[in-house]
Amino acid sequence: MAADHDSVYEEFEGKIPLNLLDEVRESLPDKCNKTQLKKILEKVYAEYSTSMIEPGESVGLISAESIGEPGTQMTLNTFHFAGVAEFNVTVGLPRIIEILDGRKNISTPMMEIFLKEPYSQGKDIKELAESIRQAEFKDFAKEITLEITEGTLEVKLDMDKLKRVGLNEAALGKIMEKSLKGFTLKIKDDLMTIKSKTKGENISELYKLKEKVKSVYVAGIKGILQVLPVKRENEFVIITAGSNLRDVYKLDFIDKKRTTTNDVFEIEDFLGIEAARQSVINEVFKVIENQGLNVDIRHIMLVADTMTLGGKVRGITRYGVVSDKASVLARASFETPIKHIVEAALIGEIDPLTSVVENVMINQPVPVGTGLPELVSKKQ
């Protein structure tokens, strides 16, 4: 029976997109026979053909409208609470602007770290989460005192915390020595004394040293500032504030297939442009969904494709996508017209008048939609 069906499916492959065929497969009742299937597929094909986009359709503008129009309905409140009352996340219009601008430094980088079994069921979840977090020296210090007479810093260490990340005082000392040059370290039990090698220290120097020592990176993953294990449906997920995909992927207890970040550039850097494209789609879609709006995925795809067209993620700005336009007038009509005209004049640039605004400017039909077809007649 199933083999029978396969031959029918094959017939329609290439005619109907694969995802539609799969959908037919799924929703097909068991009792369906070959002729019925054929009829179904023919009907699907008929409907598909009438639903196809028409050549010449100005899809770019439709997508721009579809994303731009609901923009007026989105909230501007930058900060909102995600899931649990924990992290700040940029949502709404500011987030959309941030993504489409192609900003390198986003305002609230975040990661969602999925875990492998058995950790995903909650095994050692707190410890795992804590081990990821970027830990600085100050996290392990119970107390830091300035010994002004001696010109030294005395630090009381929190041994429990150290143990939790698998370090002891000696190991900590080594790390500290590596990143602090020109200082001597003495460790006695849980007391660490830091002294500058140069003599004649004054108080302000010492104070500076204290601040410097506090922020020495000790353990965890750089850039992960906060961690939060959350139970989601039937598994535990670690949500982090701050993001470092490359280093997180080195961990062996994470589920690499699903772990992700909201930083598009990090994804581009580490996983490549196709992943970055998907990331743009996901991030934009997330915001729009979150705002209770309805925008078809195809529009977002087209925007993502425009942004990632050149193999690099570029924002929809005058430095990014718009600067690629072949037409001088199209660029000039967007922003900084004088600059574009002067530059064009120097190299004697030719505007081919192949896109929309230039033709609007000179009162000619635009080459999209019904402006596209031309009539050719033979001279007798």
Partner 1 sequence: MDEEIYVYKKVEAIKFGVLSPKMIKQMSAVKIVTPELYDKEGSPVDGGLMDTRLGVIDPGLKCKTCGSKLKECIGHFGYIELARPIVHIKFTKLILDLLRCTCKDCGRILIPDEELKKTVKKSEKIAKSKTAKAKRIVVKETILKLKTVSKCPHCKAKLEKIKLEKPTTFMEGERRLSPIEVRTRLEKIPDEDIDLFGINPSVMRPEWAIMTLMSIPPVTMRPSITLESGERSEDDLTHKLGDVVRINQRLFENINAGAPEIIIEDLWDLLQYHITTFFDNNVAQLPPARHRSGQPLKTITERIKSKEGRIRHNLAGKRTNFSSRTVISPDSMIDLDEVGVPLTIAMKLTVPEKITEWNFEYLKEYVKRGPKVYPGANYISRPDGKKKKITEETLQALLEELQIGYVVERHLIEGDIAIFNRQPSLHRMSMMCHKIKVLPGLTFRLNPAVCAPYNADFDGDEMNLHVPQTEEARAEAEILMEVQTQLISPRYGLGIIACNHDSIGGNYMLTKMIEMPRTDAVQLLASVGIEEFGSLPDKEIVNGREIFSVLLPKDFEFTGKARDGTKVVIQKGKLKEGFMDSANLGSGSGLLIRNLHKRYGAERALKILGAMFRLGVKTLLYHGFTAAFSDTDLKTENDQEIQNVLKEAEHKVDEFIEVYKKGNLDIFPGRTAEETLEIKILESLNKARNDAGRVVSKSLDRTKNTLIMSLSGARGNIINLAQMAAVVGQQALRGKRIEKGYKGRTLSCFRRGDLRSNARGFIRHGFRQGLTPAEFFFMAMTGRDSLMDTALRTPKSGYLYRRLANAMQDMRVEYDYTVRNASKRIVQFSYGEDKIDVSKSEGGKINVKRIVESVMEGE
Which residues, numbered 241-280, are part of the site for partner 1 (CB under 8 A)? Answer: 241
Q: How many residues bind partner 1 (CB under 8 A)?
A: 113
Helical residues (DSSP H) of 165-244, grouped into ranges? 169-179, 203-214
Give 18's Cβ-side CA count (13 Å radius).
0
Determine which residue in the list 3, 85, 170, 376 makes contact with partner 1, applying CB under 8 A.
85
Query: For residues 170 and 347, which CB has a smaller minimum distance to partner 1 in the complex?
Result: 347
- What strands, in cross-sheet order, belong to the sheet with 110-114? 226-232, 235-241, 110-114, 260-261
Determine which residue in the list 194, 218, 280, 332 makes contact with partner 1, applying CB under 8 A.
332
Q: Interface with partner 1 includes 282 (CB under 8 A)?
A: no
Least Å distance, CB 41 to partner 1, is 9
Q: Interface with partner 1 includes 333 (CB under 8 A)?
A: yes
Determine which residue in the list 57, 117, 127, 147 makes contact with partner 1, applying CB under 8 A.
57
* Residues paired with residue 260 on neighbouring β-strands, in sequence order: 112
Altogether, the residues listed in the chain come to a count of 380
Q: Interface with partner 1 includes 139 (CB under 8 A)?
A: no
Query: For residues 191 and 342, which CB has a smaller minimum distance to partner 1 in the complex?
Result: 342
Determine which residue in the list 8, 11, 15, 80 makes contact with partner 1, applying CB under 8 A.
80
Q: Interface with partner 1 includes 74 (CB under 8 A)?
A: yes
Helix (H) or strand (E) holding 235: strand 235-241
Does residue 27 come out as left (phi exceeding 0), alpha (psi in the -120 to 50 range) or beta?
alpha
Nearest one of 67, 95, 100, 68 to 80, comparing CA atoms: 95
Q: Interface with partner 1 includes 83 (CB under 8 A)?
A: no
| Residues sharing a CB contact under 8 Å with residue 223, sequence separation 6 or more, in sequence order | 109, 134, 242, 243, 244, 247
Determine which residue in the list 13, 34, 68, 272 makes contact with partner 1, applying CB under 8 A.
68
Least Å distance, CB 85 to partner 1, is 4
Task: Select the span of 69-77, 102-110, 148-156, 247-255 touching partner 1 (CB under 8 A).
Answer: 69-77
The Cα 99–Cα 71 span in angstroms is 14
Q: Which token pair is 139?
A: 């996290």
Helix (H) or strand (E) holding 147: strand 141-147
The Cα 321–Cα 317 span in angstroms is 6
Q: Interface with partner 1 includes 48 (CB under 8 A)?
A: yes
Determine which residue in the list 1, 3, 53, 376 makes contact with partner 1, applying CB under 8 A.
53
Residue with tokens 């030719």: 350
Q: Interface with partner 1 includes 8 (CB under 8 A)?
A: no
Q: Which token pair is 220?
A: 């965890």
Least Å distance, CB 274 to partner 1, is 13
Q: Which token pair is 15?
A: 């005619």
Query: For residues 100 and 219, which CB has a smaller minimum distance to partner 1 in the complex?
Result: 100
The Cα 99–Cα 317 span in angstroms is 11
Task: Select the span of 190-198, 209-217, 230-238, 347-355 touching partner 1 (CB under 8 A).
Answer: 347-355
219 in Cβ contact with 130 (< 8 Å): no
Contacts of partner 1 in 294-323 (CB under 8 A): 294-299, 301-303, 305-306, 309, 316-317, 321-323
The Cα 15–Cα 97 span in angstroms is 38
The DSSP symbol for 369 reads G
Radius of gyration of the chain (CA): 30
Contacts of partner 1 in 18-37 (CB under 8 A): 19-20, 23-24, 27-29, 31-32, 36
Determine which residue in the list 148, 191, 203, 362 makes contact with partner 1, applying CB under 8 A.
362
Contacts of partner 1 in 95-134 (CB under 8 A): 96-97, 100
Binding track, positions 168-187, relative to partner 1; x by CB under 8 A: --------------------
Determine which residue in the list 4, 10, 13, 65 makes contact with partner 1, applying CB under 8 A.
65
Q: Interface with partner 1 includes 368 (CB under 8 A)?
A: yes
